[in-house]
A = this chain, B = another copy of it.
Amino acid sequence: MTSADQYLAELGQQLRVDAVRATSTAGSGHATSSMSAADLMAVLLARHLRYDFDWPDHPGNDRLILSKGHASPLLYAAFKAAGAISDEELLTFRTLGSRLEGHPTPRLPWVDVATGSLGQGLPIGAGVALAGQRLQEAESRVWVLSGDSELAEGSVWEAFEHAGYERLSSLTAILDINRLGQRGPTRHEWDLDAYRRRIAAFDWHTIEVDGHDPAAIDAAYTEAAGVTDRPTAILARTMKGRGVAAVQDREGMHGKPVPDEAEAVEELGGPRDLRVEVRRPEATTVPRSPGGPQPELPRYAVGEKVATRNAYGEALAALGAARPEVVALDGEVSDSTRSEFFAKQHPDRFFECYIAEQELVATAVGMAVRGWLPFASTFAAFFTRAHDFLRMATVSRVGLCLAGSHAGVAIGEDGPSQMGLEDLAMFRALHDSTVLYPCDANQAAQLVAEMAEETSGLRYLRTSRGADPVIYPPEERFPVGGSKVLRSSPGDRLTVVAAGVTVHEALRAADELGEEGVPVRVVDLYSVKPVDAATLREAAEQTGCLLTVEDHRHAGGLGDAVLDAFTDGRPVPRLLRLAVDSLPGSAKPDEQLRAAGIDAGAIATAVRRHLAGHGA
């Protein structure tokens, strides 16, 4: 071993020692999963990573994603070796208030995305690399350190396909094949060729390597950097718990400290304090400055019949013209979601992700990491495919805009598989999310602009398939958190709260009831989260009863959103709700609304019954 290799080996041991110390001090954490990848990390840090720890947002920085997030002690040990954190901070691992969480999150400035839900690092890394190569022509590389267990996740294979197809040569997947998952042996254990065959079939360059041989690792990283027409996967044969006999390659040692810290540290050669000077990026690219003029949004004439999905597409195209940081992505349904309008005007900023919704959202997250403002669209129903990626995006605190089309039973004949009926529940429950549901085209267009103005979190827009009449003039504004009172009189006997397609049904019902001498208020609750509690309270006080009606399941949608405005201990109005309880089949849109009991007739009936004292 050369002295240079000896240094790398020493650094690897230091990372192991620090991972052992951090987990033992914490009394929990993944020591053995850190130890298997320590040499992979040491060589990367000392020889290949280009990163300015003083300037995490440097556009020329490489990106390092620890997909096997449970090996966070290794990452933190590396940060310490790079001088980014102190030994004192290292030992705050997993304690209340520490930035060093059990799984890495962007509370640390050098962590771009939260990991810990396995199989997400590579998909997101592909997005980061795609942004770098297609949008920025950056010199920087993307390194994803992944475990072997997580290669069972389909999302990883969406990423292999995506990155291979897009020839993302800046992307290197470092696969820590330590044979042991949480429960026991993985499917393929140390059959590196099983992985190699699969990954190579997806048009990646592959390299097999002894993951504890610094020189071999160094050569593999160099080889990867030299491949210019495809991404590279480095398959590293490693041992879990490497270096400590009590745990090395043994089952039942996952996710816990080593049994004897002092013995382990001694076995690893004792503490060291090597300090790595990580190479800084040479690129001097100036970061893009986001923002721009107000978009020239499309304008629709009142009375015109336009689907909100169309307005979404047209507004997004206009937004893209005004704001150069806007990118759009779609899951091979851009002709349905209408993101194709953006694609036609801005083909260089449109990304076809095919029918792979996890990769769709992951790519959007990756682009957000690079400073872009992504709008990702597919059917509302199919965002459920990406639920875990959306959940983790909230932990990553990235800004994402999402548009789900084909809301509810109103889509008609295609039937339940294509109906978004649980999407409001999913998005409302996510942390730091905004949920918008327009009922007309001008409103939809304005809300697209509002989404771009928000500064954080997930912003979800629910659009409809069918064309409904425009009811708002193009000048009307729709702030997030607001609502519109569409019918109101001093004698209102009840308030119907609706959104999207049910606004039109509510208006029809109100007209019908008005003719019967029963005035009712109608509120368009286009902002489902946050809700306009003040308007709802006022309506409740003045009319005594709120009836919510939504093209969504009972649980988690508009009805629950309205109720949430009344959980502050003050008196609550009487409440009624109409939502989709049945399992729809195929039928025309108006038949669907009727069958689900959320059309004008059902609303009018519910109002009459309530006022007659029959309850719902």
Contacts and interface: CB of A to CB of B under 8 A. Distances in A.
A417 B69 CA distance: 9
A127 to B, nearest CB: 15
A459 interface: no
Given A336-B182, A572-B572, A585-B98, A555 B429 contact: yes
Interface in A178-206: 181-183, 186-187, 197-198, 200-202
Nearest to A563: B563
A268 interface: no
A414 interface: yes
Contacts of A313: none
Interface residues of A, number: 118
27 contacts: A26-B413, A97-B587, A98-B586, A102-B586, A103-B414, A114-B416, A116-B414, A116-B417, A154-B359, A181-B332, A182-B333, A182-B335, A183-B340, A197-B201, A387-B422, A387-B426, A425-B555, A426-B426, A429-B554, A429-B557, A432-B583, A556-B556, A567-B575, A568-B615, A568-B616, A569-B615, A572-B574
Nearest to A202: B198
A167 interface: no
A155 interface: yes
Contact of A384 (B334, B388, B557, B591): B388
Contacts of A384: 387-388, 391
Contacts of A154: 153-158, 356, 358-359
A115 B415 CA distance: 10
B152 A355 contact: yes
A431 B552 CA distance: 11
Nearest to A103: B417
B616 A96 contact: no
A531 B388 CA distance: 27
Interface string A574-598: 1111000001011110010001000
Interface in A100-157: 100-103, 105, 107, 114-119, 149-150, 152-157
A429 B29 CA distance: 34
A548 to B, nearest CB: 8
A314 interface: no
A504 interface: no
A352 B185 CA distance: 11
Given A102-B418, A182-B336, A588-B96, A118 B355 contact: yes
Interface string A409-430: 0001111111001100110111
Interface string A294-319: 00000000000000000000000000
A438 B264 CA distance: 40
B388 A385 contact: yes
Contacts of A394: 583
Contacts of A96: 585-588, 591, 595
Nearest to A432: B583
A103 B415 contact: yes
A323 interface: no
Contacts of A472: none
Contact of A117 (B381, B430, B557): B381
